[in-house]
Amino acid sequence: MKSPTFAGVMAVAAMSTALLASFGTSSAGAAEYVIDRKGAHAFINFRIKHLGYSWLSGRFDRFTGNFSFDEAAPEKSKVRVEIDVASLNSNHAERDKHLRNKDFLNVEKYPTAIFESTSIAPLADGKAKVTGKLTLKGITKEIAFEAEHVGGGKDPWGGYRDGFTGKVSLPLKDFGIDYNLGPASREVELTLDIEGIRQ
């Protein structure tokens, strides 16, 4: 069970920033957004098969990020997300402890995972292909996934928000994860639900 959780953690980091970049068309003009972690309106979740018999799920409790979006030229938008890998939470203290050690995330040496977008390609129906570089456990890889704009508009507190969702599958071996996971647990699925507050 331990290895699956770790996989989710890494995947989650990559997904988090990519999702923010999957802007929609609700924003007007160039704008800067900050992920709403303070209000707990952003989530980075993961799941991976355990022995091929069931799904093991978890999340990252601490992460920060921001993104810029220009509706007139969405391809110029950018996203950056930083994840505190030690904040992984699979609802099992002993498993989480193992996932944080050298067998998996090695959080003492690599405490932060970072994703930065390199390109954003608008698609139909408020979707976008987000490409960027994910650095996890000291390894940097290019990843790409499709994100979708959920909605945007004014909030009850005088602000403006936009939300996005996305999903991606990542091979664990790409980030040096190889801990007897078995054939059914070689990829982790990441789902990101992000709400940003316009600055």
Q: Tens digits of per-residue pLDDT, 117-136?
A: 999 999 988 889 999 999 99
Query: Looking at residues 4-24, what average pLDDT do you find?
Result: 42
Each residue of 144-185: pLDDT tens digit? 999 888 888 999 999 999 888 888 888 988 998 888 777 878
CA distances from 108 to 1, 70, 170, 177 (A): 21, 38, 23, 16
User: Rounded to 5 degrees, what are φ and ψ at 68?
Assistant: -115, 150
Question: Three-state SS for 192?
Answer: strand
Distance CA(78)–CA(35), nearest Å, equals 13
Which pTM was predicted? 0.80
Cα-based distances in Å from 42 to 71, 98, 150, 196: 22, 26, 13, 8
Angstrom distance (rounded) from CA 41 to CA 63: 12
Q: Which of 96, 105, 82, 65 is nearest to 13 (CA)?
A: 82
Compute, in degrees rounded to 10, the torsion defined by CA atoms 35, 188, 55, 180. -140
Q: Token pair for residue 102?
A: 């050298």
Report all structural domains of the chain as residue ranges with CATH numbers, in order of start.
2-198 (2.40.128.110)
The predicted-structure confidence for 98-112, as pLDDT tens digits, reads as follows 989 988 889 999 999
List Cα–Cα distances, 46 to 60, 160, 169, 180, in angstroms.
9, 28, 10, 19
